[in-house]
Structure formats: structure tokens, C-alpha cells
């Protein structure tokens, strides 16, 4: 292996770990919120607040999603917790879309790399995604196996440990309540750690080894694409997002590169919105709800995000607000490991996770297993290979090879 490969290997490992470091606090926050919902919120209470499919319930789902904004994996977990507790399908999906798109930190990164027009597009688009999903689900309701999916979600979430359900205020003040929250917290990590490991490792490999020209080749249309070219770009957006999957946060620098190389506003917005229509998310949804509901959600989101991207493009064009690619800042190497708000948030959630971990080990221990089924077994060994790849890349850097 030549020095060029070894240095790129090191870059790949550092990028993967850096991107995970950037997102760790969001994982921790999302899983903590999910765990607290599961332990503290009773099914009756959830049905009272979000059990209906009307405007109030959708608005509540959107608000709860906004205040619990997180990465897609953590948002999926929180959505499952709400749905299993009795929340309606549309309010649950509104929560999921809001918690991954109406995100303050995402808006900040978009502003840095792409400009204010894309920030407006992100937030307006997030609302349009929710309204579009509401419309499509209403029209295709008979195709959604809601009851079957809810039972599946309850099985995945498990039953409450206690037959009695004390008031949430009593639980939050009790040691037993927090023991249950700690247990749920690690159950959430156990559910997706293989997908997360593989996803971030692939993201690092793609960022380091795959040339930007490959992604530029994926998109078509030229400088002034017509309607069908815009549709094609909006469809290719999810494909490109799949190759770089770690959620919208990590895709923003690449989105700036794509926009600077001629990809239309619609294609970029579809690319950013596509964090919920990629294979790892589909797998998690299938685990939570079964394959029928997972594929239904995938189809709904894909239709809605393409339509939303097109509406935003033509709406901004009509208002004369389409940004110029010349105004997009060039993407430079990101500095992941610095002392900023991410460092302090990560430190807080590392301490919280360590406390929960010690508590869990002291009570029942920790078992690292491959999981049930051939798919889980394959993913387990792929995750192990990913750890070896990351470790090797770091060693190469420490030795100064390449």
C-alpha cells in the first residue's frame, strides 16, 4: 500500500470519528428524551394529547419534534416511543420530520455553508414536508398497516416493568424511575449501534476516497434545468444522500460543493431532506414497525420530499430569491475536535452515559451479542470490521505513515 492510500485511510478514519463526535450529543439527547417518554409518559396521557389525527395533534407532534430536535436515528426512536404509546400516525410522523428538519443547529450549519436562502428553504420545507405527509397519508390511509405496526412497535419497545403506573412526578423523583430510564437509554443504543457504526464509517470512506466529480455526475440538467431535469435531480438527491449517509448535518458541506458545481436549488433541498429515506433508516423502521409500514413510510416521504423540493424551487424563483452558486462559500477541511459548544455538550452526555453505564453494569451487566437473524449477524461482523478499519486508520496517522 502506497503512502497516498495510507494518508487517505487516516483521513477517512478521522472524518468518520469527527462526524460522530459532532453528532454524539444529539444522539444522547434524543435517546434520553425517548427513554423518558417511554418511562414517564403513560399510554392514556399520550392518547389524550396526540391520539387524534386532527390539526391540534399534528401541531403538538410538530412542536414536540422541534423541541427535541436530534439526529435521525434518535428521532426514529422517539417517534416509535410516541407511536407505541398511542399517538396517531400523522402526529408521530410530524414529530419525526420536525425533529430532523426544524433543527436550530442544522440551520446554523446551512447558513455557514450555503446561505440564508437555504435556511429559509429548510424551515419552510420542513413545514411543507409535514403538511404534505398529512395529505398523502390521508389519501392513502387504507394502505398503511397502522394497527399491525403499532403492535410491532409495542413489542420492540417492551412492556412497562411495573403493573402499576405511578405519576410521572413520582417516577422522576425516584431512584427506580431513573434506573428504568437508564435501562431504556441503553436499549436504544443497542437497537441501532451496528447501523450507526457502519453508517459513519461509510461516510468517512466516501468523504475521503470518492471524488466529488462522482456526485456531480449523479445530477443532470445543466445551468438552467427544465422541469423534468429538476424532478430527476430531486430523485437523485436521496441516492446521493445514501452514499454519504449520516443525516443532514454531515451532508451540508457536500451540498455546498454540489451547489457550487451546478446542481439546482431543488436538487440540493431534496438532498438535505433525504436523511429519512435511506437504507439505514428503512432498516430501523422495519425493525420498529415491520417491513410493510417501513416501506409505506419510505414511499410517502419520497413523494413528499420531491414535491416539496420542487415547490420550494419554483416558489423561490417566483419571488426572485433563488441563490446564486457564486455566493456559496467554498468547502474547506472541517475542524472537528475543538473546544466549542459541541465539546461541552458531548462532555455532558459522556458523563451521563458513563453514569448510566456504571448503573447498568452494577445491576445486570452488559451483553454484546450479534443479534437475532442473519441480517443482524452480518451487520455485527460488518461493525467489527468497521472498528478495525477506524483503528487502523488512526494507527497509520499516529505512526506518521503516508
Asked whether the beta carbons of 4 and 380 are under 8 A apart, the reply is no
Q: How buried is 16 (Cβ within 10 angstroms: 0-12 exposed, 13-18 middle, 19+ buried)? A: buried
Provide the 3-class DSSP secondary structure of residue 41. Answer: coil
Mean pLDDT computed over every residue of the chain: 79
- pLDDT of residue 125 exceeding 90, the answer is yes
Angle between the N-to-C axes of helices 291-318 and 265-273, in degrees from 0 to 180, rounded to the nearest 10: 150
Whole-number Å distance between alpha carbons of 17 and 23: 10
pLDDT at 347: 93
pLDDT at 239: 75
Evaluate whether residue 226 is within a structural domain.
yes
Q: Report the phi/psi class of residue 103: left, alpha or beta, with left for phi > 0 and alpha for psi in -120 to 50.
A: beta
Whole-number Å distance between alpha carbons of 156 and 87: 16
- Which of 6-10, 280-284, 301-305 is least confident? 280-284
Summarize the confidence of residues 123-133 as an average pLDDT. 95
pLDDT at 162: 46
Evaluate whether residue 3 is within a structural domain.
no
Evaluate whether residue 366 is within a structural domain.
yes
pLDDT at 2: 55
Whole-number CA gyration radius for the chain = 21
Evaluate whether residue 152 is within a structural domain.
yes
The total of structural domains in the chain comes to 1
pLDDT tier for residue 41 given thresholds of 50, 70 and 90: low
Span 239-298, pLDDT tens digits? 777 665 555 555 676 677 677 767 888 988 998 888 888 877 888 888 889 899 999 999
> What pTM value is reported for the model?
0.69
Structural domain for 153, as ranges? 8-399
Could you tell me what percent of the chain has a pLDDT over 70?
A: 78
pLDDT tier for residue 310 given thresholds of 50, 70 and 90: very high
Summarize the confidence of residues 56-78 as an average pLDDT. 77
Give whole-number Cα distances, 340 to 112, 344, 353, in Å.
16, 7, 20
pLDDT at 168: 62
Summarize the confidence of residues 166-193 as an average pLDDT. 75
Summarize the confidence of residues 319-342 as an average pLDDT. 68
pLDDT tier for residue 330 given thresholds of 50, 70 and 90: very low
Evaluate whether residue 348 is within a structural domain.
yes
- pLDDT of residue 352 exceeding 80, the answer is yes
pLDDT tier for residue 37 given thresholds of 50, 70 and 90: confident
pLDDT at 367: 57
- pLDDT of residue 219 exceeding 90, the answer is no
- pLDDT of residue 51 exceeding 70, the answer is no
Span 76-116, pLDDT tens digits? 887 888 888 788 889 989 989 998 888 776 777 777 678 88
Amino acid at each position: 500500500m502506497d503512502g497516498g492510500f495510507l494518508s487517505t485511510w487516516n483521513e477517512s478514519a478521522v472524518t468518520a470519528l469527527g462526524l460522530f463526535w459532532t453528532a454524539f450529543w444529539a444522539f444522547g439527547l434524543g435517546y434520553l428524551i425517548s427513554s423518558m417518554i417511554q418511562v414517564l409518559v403513560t399510554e392514556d396521557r399520550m392518547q389524550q394529547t396526540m391520539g387524534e389525527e386532527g390539526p391540534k395533534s399534528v401541531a403538538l407532534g410538530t412542536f414536540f419534534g422541534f423541541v427535541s430536535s436530534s439526529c435521525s436515528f434518535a428521532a426514529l426512536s422517539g417517534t416509535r416511543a410516541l407511536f407505541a404509546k398511542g399517538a396517531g400516525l400523522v402526529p408521530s410522523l410530524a414529530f419525526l420530520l420536525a425533529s430532523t428538519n426544524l433543527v436550530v443547529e442544522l440551520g446554523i450549519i446551512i447558513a455557514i455553508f450555503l446561505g440564508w436562502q437555504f435556511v429559509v428553504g429548510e424551515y419552510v420545507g420542513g413545514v411543507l414536508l409535514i403538511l404534505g405527509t398529512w395529505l398523502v397519508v390521508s389519501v392513502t390511509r387504507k394502505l398503511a398497516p397502522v394497527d399491525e405496526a403499532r403492535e410491532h412497535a409495542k413489542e420492540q419497545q417492551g412492556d412497562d416493568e411495573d403493573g402499576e403506573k405511578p405519576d410521572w412526578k413520582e417516577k422522576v423523583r425516584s431512584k427506580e424511575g431513573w434506573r428504568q430510564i437508564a435501562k431504556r437509554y441503553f436499549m436504544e443504543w443497542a437497537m441501532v449501534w451496528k447501523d450507526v457504526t457502519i453508517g459513519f464509517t461509510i461516510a468517512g470512506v466516501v468523504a475521503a476516497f470518492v471524488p466529488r466529480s462522482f456526485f456531480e455526475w449523479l445530477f443532470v440538467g445543466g445551468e438552467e434545468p427544465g422541469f423534468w431535469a429538476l424532478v430527476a435531480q430531486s430523485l437523485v438527491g436521496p441516492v446521493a444522500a445514501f452514499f454519504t449517509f449520516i443525516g443532514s448535518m454531515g451532508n451540508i458541506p457536500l451540498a455546498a460543493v454540489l451547489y457550487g458545481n451546478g446542481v439546482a436549488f431543488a436538487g440540493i433541498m431534496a438532498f438535505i431532506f433525504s436523511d429519512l429515506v435511506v437504507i439505514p433508516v428503512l432498516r430501523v423502521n422495519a425493525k420498529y414497525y415491520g417491513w410493510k409500514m417501513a416501506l409505506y413510510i419510505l414511499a410517502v416521504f419520497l413523494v413528499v420530499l420531491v414535491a416539496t423540493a420542487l415547490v420550494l424551487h419554483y416558489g423561490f424563483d417566483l419571488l426572485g430569491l433563488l441563490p446564486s452558486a457564486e455566493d456559496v462559500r467554498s468547502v474547506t477541511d472541517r475542524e472537528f475536535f475543538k473546544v466549542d459548544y459541541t465539546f461541552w455538550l458531548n462532555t455532558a452526555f459522556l458523563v451521563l452515559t458513563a453514569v448510566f453505564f456504571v448503573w447498568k453494569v452494577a445491576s445486570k451487566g452488559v451483553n454484546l451479542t450479534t443479534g437475532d437473524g442473519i441480517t443482524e449477524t452480518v451487520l455485527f461482523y460488518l461493525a467489527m470490521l468497521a472498528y478495525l478499519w477506524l483503528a487502523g486508520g488512526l494507527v497509520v496517522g499516529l505512526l506518521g505513515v503516508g
